[in-house]
Amino acid sequence: MRSTVLLLGLVSTASLSGCVTVNDMYLADGSIGHKITCDGRGRSIDTCFEKAAELCGAHGFETVTREGLSTGRSIEKGSTDPNSGAFSTRNILVRCNDQRPMPRY
């Protein structure tokens, strides 16, 4: 019984915490972009931006796109915060500032 409760607790914690994934891709201008996904209710969009800062280091980064899928929780009336409400999926696409577009011939 105790092991079943422990296992359920671990599964619950894992599903709430989600994970951060990074997929590299070429952008239209030939530079490399990083699509960073931060799923789970226990995370915020800040988790994605922290990962972008970690990837790009001191040079910083430019946000190309930013998306999120709401879980349906209503946003507080009058709120101007685009991150308010509960999001179950979030992702950003960034380009590190040290990335140079490839020349086109």
What are the structural domain ranges in the chain?
2-96
Q: Is the dihedral of CA 55, 58, 62, 68 positive or negative?
A: positive
User: Which residue type occupies 80?
Assistant: T
- Rounded to 5 degrees, φ, ψ at 52 are -60, -45
Distance CA 68, CA 87 (A): 6
**What pLDDT, on a 0 to 100 scale, did the predictor assign at position 20?**
92
**What pLDDT, on a 0 to 100 scale, did the predictor assign at position 89?**
80
**Radius of gyration of the chain, Cα coordinates, nearest whole angstrom:** 18
Record the pTM: 0.64
Instruction: Convert the pLDDT of each residue in 88-101 to its tens digit.
Output: 788 999 999 988 66
